A and B are shown apart, each in its own frame.
Chain A
Amino acid sequence: MNIITVAKLQKKYKSLTAVEDVTLEVGEKEIFGFLGPNGAGKSTTIKILATLVKPTSGTAFVGGFEIVRQPHLVRQSIGLVFQETTLDERLTAGENLYFHGMLYNLERSAMAGRMAEVLAMVELTDRKNALVKTFSGGMKRRLEIARGLIHYPRVLFLDEPTIGLDPQTRNRIWDYIHHLRLRENITIFMTTHYMDEAENCDRIAIIDHGSIVALDTPANLKKMVGGDLITLLAPNRSEVKRIIQETFGLAAVESEEQLQLEVESGESFIPSLAGRLNGLISSISLRKPTLDDVFIKLTGRDIREEAADNWGMMRAHMRGRNRK
């Protein structure tokens, strides 16, 4: 059963088309990643699915409810962590959770227990009564995730949950996410700029200029780039090249001091290659295509630069706030 179904979603802002054509399905308990350069339409898609923005055309069902006709039912069944923080910094962590629980009609009798549970999950139990403005960026993010979970949503939308966080905190957040799927039977729909994180997703959609350009598992997406890359260092390159051509029928490319060849499956090829070239080569290295390569191939842009950009934007944003 699919918990999210999106068909031909489109969103126009005056002359600008933020979302051009998004069609996708997300299965229950899946971790679904949404990848794309800045301005591709990721946040807009999430806002439409969360019923915060109305689509210009197209339909979507979330948790079995239609987003335009049944917004309240959709809202009750989703949790949200927006790209920008939406905590009330002048309230305590506990109050933020409490108010959220109240707005989502959590039973009063269940409230305290559930609050303790989600706070423990993100390791903020001891900060329950502290004002949120005293929290670090990572703590705020964790609290937002806890808040998004308090009303037992079936789908959790995370828009850049790890942006601007240090690697340890990012790993912790991923631990919670994996943990969640096991404990809360939840589906996760998330965007990220970090390719290493995208590897954690079951499936990934790559979106560019408002349209989905690829949608598959990380492994299959990487196959789109071509085979594995093997690099050899050898004193006598032309000799080695000739042997490879004769034995394996492969054309190695000579570049600078090395030889490169592309093969379907590098791991199983290396033993026979090394056996045949014994004594003729000084080193062999194998490189797998990464999601970065996929991203560059599909969008023509390097996502690492995008991530850096976002960092800068985020810091500028924070500075703007602190000045007030």
Chain B
Amino acid sequence: MRVSKAIYTIWLRDVIRFYREKPRILGMLGQPLLYLLIIGNGLSYSFRMAAAPQGFNYLEFMYPGIIGMSVLFTSVFSAISIVWDREFGFLKEVLVAPVPRWSVAIGKALGGSTIAMLQAAILLLLAPVIGIKLGPLTVLKLLAVLFLIAFSLTSLGITVASRMETMEGFQMVMNFLVLPLFFLSGAMFPMKGMPPWLETLMRLDPLTYGVDALRNIMFATSPARELLVQFPLSTDLAVVAAMSLVFITAGTMAFSKVE
């Protein structure tokens, strides 16, 4: 009871702060649209001449990747609020409250995930514009996987933010982590046909399986499925679940050690 109240409180504060900041809302809406329009369209044009197999549509390929990318960036950087709170003192108020630290970390992770999920939901609404039809059940499945991804990535952010004293430090470390995670995830280019060393790296990136899970669900009945997907859905889900477990544990543990 007490713990759920704490989780709810921390979550609510992050959400309230988010909707009070108009630029952040604009950014949340604008950023994915920008990715989709510029990156999606631009890349799909330039890739057209490549020897793509029959039936391979780059925009279709990119769409789940862009959703994954938005969720990655929003989730991971939402944890900067911890560094911010440390700087402005509010963190102390939370740290001396009679609630377990892990419940605070979970509340934070849920707050960041909520915002990332909002963004993902907006992008999913655009599916018809890209020419992809999604049934309500598919959308629900996608949201469920996206939530797991968002929750684990926010936890990754919390793991780093708990150790960082400054915003600059946090941003530096995050860029080091996030950019490789993103570029190796297969969001922008398929794993098939990559040089072996690159393929190995891509197989090591947990996000690869997250993006692949999205494609698996999104194109479950599409004739192009074989071209778009790398692994069976069960493998994807197993890796995503394992990633969540690891990152959430790391995040709550790191936050519990904060002084």
Contact = CB atoms under 8 A, between A and B. Distances in A.
Interface in A41-80: 50-53, 71-73, 75-76, 80
A80 B96 contact: yes
B76 to A, nearest CB: 22
A23 B97 CA distance: 26
Nearest to B99: A103
Contacts of A287: none
A158 to B, nearest CB: 14
Given A91-B13, A102-B9, A75 B89 contact: no
B17 A76 contact: no
Nearest to A87: B90
B92 interface: yes
B89 A99 contact: no
B108 to A, nearest CB: 13
Interface in B78-92: 85, 87-92
A105 B96 contact: no
A285 interface: no
B6 A53 contact: no
B113 to A, nearest CB: 19
A241 interface: no
Interface in B14-57: 16-17, 20-21
Contacts of A91: 13, 16-17
Contacts of B91: 86
B96 A99 contact: no
B96 A52 contact: yes
B149 to A, nearest CB: 28
Contacts of A152: none
B249 to A, nearest CB: 22
Given A76-B98, A86-B89, A100-B93, A95 B8 contact: no
Nearest to A72: B98
B94 interface: yes
A104 interface: yes
B95 interface: yes
Given A91-B16, A91-B17, A95-B16, A104 B98 contact: yes
B5 interface: yes
Interface in A94-150: 95, 99-100, 102-105
B89 A105 contact: no
B20 A105 contact: no
Give the one of A50, A91, A103 with max B CB within 10 A: A103
A52 B92 contact: yes
9 contacts: A51-B96, A52-B95, A75-B97, A84-B89, A91-B17, A99-B12, A99-B13, A103-B5, A103-B94
Interface of B: 2, 5-6, 8-9, 12-13, 16-17, 20-21, 85, 87-99, 259
